[in-house]
A and B are shown apart, each in its own frame.
Chain A
Amino acid sequence: MAEIIANEGGGKQKGKKRSKRHSTHIDMTPMVDLACLLLTFFMLTTAFSKAKVMEIVLPEKTPKDQEQDAPEVDKDRALNIILVKDNKVLWYNGLADPTKPPLPTLNETDFSDEGIRRVVLQRNKDLFIQIEEMNKGIVEGTLKIPKDSVSARRKKMMTEDRKGPVILIKAADEVKYHNVVDIIDEMAICNVARYALVDINSVEKKMVADYLAGKASGAASLK
């Protein structure tokens, strides 16, 4: 304590001496410190406050009195993804048509990198590689196209694609919002050209219920 007081006293004395010599000199360090601090704060907060959005465009609703035909989808290209509760994903190839049995079998997977992404990527490999090569070319400078035509070119690749899957995304009851966003995001990651968010139909509802019930009874018998 004594030391501190002595120091302070010494400081004061020095200050007095100095102030006598040139009285206009003010120590601006604390002010500059504060300015620096505020500057950092404002820089960081402005940079991070922008929210990002994902754009989706849905087809126009048809009036209720008009019969709506189910979308015509090529059977070989169709990939159905059904989201169910507890972050699970069921998928099957082709179309579920009760008039033409047997019904396709459901496969279960999840939202991880090794889950649904692998399924989608495998089906969409050609287009994905095509687009990735274009992106790589642009980054490395081997491919020279104006910046504003990149997305147009990407779109063209997507519309000309004839082999990739047509993905129908269906959400069962009790699905959380982030599951749907995740799956749409997955489409963007895998550069899927054609996908649609459609309502689940009764055939699929039954398939899902049967699948979940079968799994439950299987688990029970194991015990």
Chain B
Amino acid sequence: MHAKPPKIDMTPMVDLFFLLLIFFILTATFRPQEAVMVDTPSSISNTTTPEKHIITLMISKDNLVFFNVDNGVDTSEHLRGKILQAVGQQYQIKFTPAEIKRFETMNSFSMPMDKLKDWINESDSKVRDAMHSGMPLDSIDNQLLMWIRYSRQYYPEFEVAIKGDRDADFKKVKRVIDILQDNNVNKFNLTTNLESVDISLDNL
């Protein structure tokens, strides 16, 4: 006769698994698809970005400047929509309520104001991603300045994160920083990857 195989009651473990699983599913926030891949440089800095109320300026590998702003903690404020309307008014472009609503769920963009409407209305994400032609930021037509100015008008405590690609030209980053300083933003968060560095004084 065989001895009875030992049986373990796994029910509590499975219960725990499910509890944790539900917890992680609920707390997970999925990052929306970015318009470009940005390979950030690394640093030893260990501080994390604030989650909300942040203006993100991405500088891609080919030196395009992308602008993004979030809706804020309280999504009923519709910050993005308000900012879009304000900037649109500045350039005499009217957006329909449907367009504003759609814009609120969208992500970073890099294009002049007159093309923004087409970008919002384009349903194919591939076509949309190909539409980023660059944000005008020279002194004659400085639209980035406008975006930052109106964003801060609706919420003055917006933090600014600069997410530059490793191989972006520093000149372009410097230009973006200059524009920010024109808007009285003097504190920046440079998005980086974490790296660890060990140094010893032995070889000095």
Q: With the chains together, A181 CA to B204 CA distance in Å?
A: 24
Q: Are B45 and A177 in contact (CB under 8 A)?
A: no
Q: What is the interface residue range for chain A against chain B?
A: 35 or more
Tell me, rounded to whole Å, the shortest Cβ–Cβ distance linking B190 to chain A: 5
B139 in the interface, Cβ–Cβ < 8 Å? no
B36 in the interface, Cβ–Cβ < 8 Å? no
| CB proximity to B under 8 Å, residues A14-60 | 28, 32, 35-36, 38-39, 42-43, 45-46, 49-60
Q: Are B24 and A55 in contact (CB under 8 A)?
A: no
Q: With the chains together, A177 CA to B47 CA distance in Å?
A: 20
B155 in the interface, Cβ–Cβ < 8 Å? no
Q: Which single residue of chain B is at the shortest CB-CB distance from A46?
A: B28
Tell me, rounded to whole Å, the shortest Cβ–Cβ distance linking B48 to chain A: 5
Q: If A42-B24, A176-B167, A189-B197 touch, does A35 touch B188 (CB 8 Å cutoff)?
A: no
Q: With the chains together, A60 CA to B184 CA distance in Å?
A: 7
B14's partner among A32, A61, A182 (CB-CB below 8 A) is: A32
Q: With the chains together, A122 CA to B27 CA distance in Å?
A: 47
Q: Are A178 and B199 in contact (CB under 8 A)?
A: no
A173 in the interface, Cβ–Cβ < 8 Å? yes
Q: Are A53 and B170 in contact (CB under 8 A)?
A: no
Contacts of A145 in B (CB 8 A): none
Q: Are B48 and A177 in contact (CB under 8 A)?
A: no
Tell me, rounded to whole Å, the shortest Cβ–Cβ distance linking A203 to chain B: 20
Contacts of B161 in A (CB 8 A): 53
Q: Are A46 and B167 in contact (CB under 8 A)?
A: no
Interface stretch of the complex, out of A69-77, A113-121, A153-161:
A113-121
Please report whether the interface of chain B is mostly helix, strand, loop or mixed according to DSSP: mixed
Tell me, rounded to whole Å, the shortest Cβ–Cβ distance linking B171 to chain A: 7
B27's partner among A46, A61, A117, A174 (CB-CB below 8 A) is: A46
Q: If A57-B187, A177-B170 touch, does A39 touch B17 (CB 8 Å cutoff)?
A: yes
Tell me, rounded to whole Å, the shortest Cβ–Cβ distance linking A175 to chain B: 4
B81 in the interface, Cβ–Cβ < 8 Å? no
A185 in the interface, Cβ–Cβ < 8 Å? yes
Q: Are A121 and B199 in contact (CB under 8 A)?
A: yes
B191 in the interface, Cβ–Cβ < 8 Å? yes
Contacts of B47 in A (CB 8 A): 52-55
Q: Mark B163-185, 1 if CB is under 8 A from A, else 0.
A: 01111111111100110011010
Tell me, rounded to whole Å, the shortest Cβ–Cβ distance linking B163 to chain A: 8
